[in-house]
Amino acid sequence: MGVTTGEHIAEAFSSIRKAGTCVVTGLGSMTDFGIPISPMELVLYQKRIQGSLFGASAPTADIPWLIDLYTSGALKLDELITSTYKLDDIAQGFTDMHEGRNLRGVVLF
């Protein structure tokens, strides 16, 4: 979370297995260049670095499809919610999240 740097990507790249893929989803500064990885590790272990924007989805097609799955009952989202909070209780939601009592909280407007 936050700003991704070349060093972050290099750490992730170093942690993947042989023939693994490091998927980069965070953005860095437009002026930052370079990822300090070993070319030998890249070639000998056949590792890959892949960028991803929105999980390579097509929002105009995928969002309506997901809504249809949800409304038909095939996509169970309500069961994933661990806590709900009113907007006035948002501070408690953050406290619960930081203390590990809330994994998937939702703020109800």
Quote the percentage of the chain above a pLDDT of 70: 98
**Residue 75: both structure tokens together:** 């996509």
pLDDT by residue (tens digit) across 45-66? Answer: 999 999 998 888 899 999 999 9
The DSSP output letter for 108 is E
pLDDT by residue (tens digit) across 77-108? Answer: 999 999 999 999 999 999 999 998 888 999 99
Domain ranges of the chain: 6-56, 59-108
